[in-house]
Amino acid sequence: HVQLVESGGGSVQAGRSLTLSCVLSGDAASSRAKGWFRQAPGEEREGVACISTLAGSTSYGDSVKGRFTISQDNAKSTVYLRMDSLKPEDTGLYYCAADTWQCGGSWLRGALPGRYWGQGTQVTVS
């Protein structure tokens, strides 16, 4: 049974930090790459960050580079997203994702087949 369960969202003031967690189970836990997307109301889903499960290499969307950090604890099948210097434009529903594709620019841009998704956790920055 595949599950991706996000937590850690909330409401914060601009400039503050927040850390999201995503616990993966089933086939998702052994995915080649894991990461985060976000979607603001009326906007398309945007790739935020991804990480390679084995190599630990990372890739970030341009809007979050230098502010967000993705990490993982493979023993716990968990991926994290630490968000610093939050801005109101970071507001949105943040989704955890995992699949067998390679983490990189294409992973963040594409709606790749076979991708697993979580239900999302809301982040509101004011």
Q: Tokens 């909330």 identify what position?
A: 10
* Each residue's pLDDT tens digit, 26-74: 999 889 999 999 999 899 999 999 999 999 999 999 999 999 999 999 9
Q: Taking a C-beta distance cutoff of 8 angstroms, is the pair 6, 21 a contact?
A: yes
Note the pLDDT tens digit of each residue in 86-95: 999 999 999 9
Model confidence over 73-86: pLDDT tens digits? 999 999 999 999 99
104: confidence class by pLDDT, cuts 50, 70, 90:
very high
Write out the E strands in 16-77. 18-25, 33-39, 46-52, 58-60, 68-73
DSSP 8-state class, residue 13: -
Say if residue 110's pLDDT is above 80: no
CA distances from 16 to 19, 20, 35, 102 (A): 11, 14, 22, 31
